Amino acid sequence: MLNGATSQVAKLFYGHKGRLIDKWGHYLDIYDRHFNHFRKTGRAVRLLEIGVYHGGSLQLWRQYFGPEALIFGIDIDPRCGEIADPDICIRVGSQADPEFLKGVVREMGGVDIVIDDGSHIASHQRKSLEILLPLLDPCGVYVAEDLHTSYFRGCCEGGFGRHGTFIEEVKVLIDGIHETYHGKKTPFSNVRQSVDSVHVYDSLVVIEKKPPQRPFHTKVGTPSFQRD
């Protein structure tokens, strides 16, 4: 298997014969790590991918999640709306348009997985996260791809340490998760209790939600010595 990828996603990807897909090889096992449990729940997963390209990745997710899954893609390119495939649903619009995003999620009846492989423009990524993270299922997963663009100046609106990039937003989200301990309000204060974990990989971030559980601290076992 190329790049050492051995997961089910990787096997489907490298065996794919359908529409064109463009993915970094090291993403494949990461997807499987965070998506595999959805295939064991016994219910149809609802997946939304931002950025349709030629539609191949939507076909990949159909193969991975099975015939009952609801697979939606959005793209600003009107040519994507002309892709004829009964197994996937494509809607044309901007990932930075709140009403469009909300409308697609309503049409889907909710969303379990969001994959942002869209424009890679910082303000667009930020707006999608702002709108979709609160709408994501309480046990949902949000993935942002190609985040090396957060360091690209110019059309991507990036730059090392530059305010407003997705990478910098993730740092704020991490602070938001720990708001109980520092007491400072962040832009993510409204969702901080629903975010269970943030996983940062090379150019990819996975945010996992989970119903809130109040942290507690306890002790077990026998002391080895008496503390002064």
Location of structure tokens 């110019």:
154
Residues comprising the chain, all counted: 228
From the candidates 16, 34, 54, 120, which is the catalytic residue?
120
CA of residue 81 relative to chain centroid, distance:
22
Location of structure tokens 């965070």:
34
Write down the H helix ranges in 97-206. Answer: 98-108, 122-135, 166-177, 179-182
In the DSSP assignment, the letter for residue 128 is: H
- For residues 36 and 11, give the distance between their C-alpha atoms in angstroms, rounded to a whole number: 14
Burial class from Cβ neighbours inside 10 Å (0-12, 13-18, 19+) for residue 186 reads: middle
Answer yes or no: 178 catalytic: no
Residues annotated as catalytic are 120
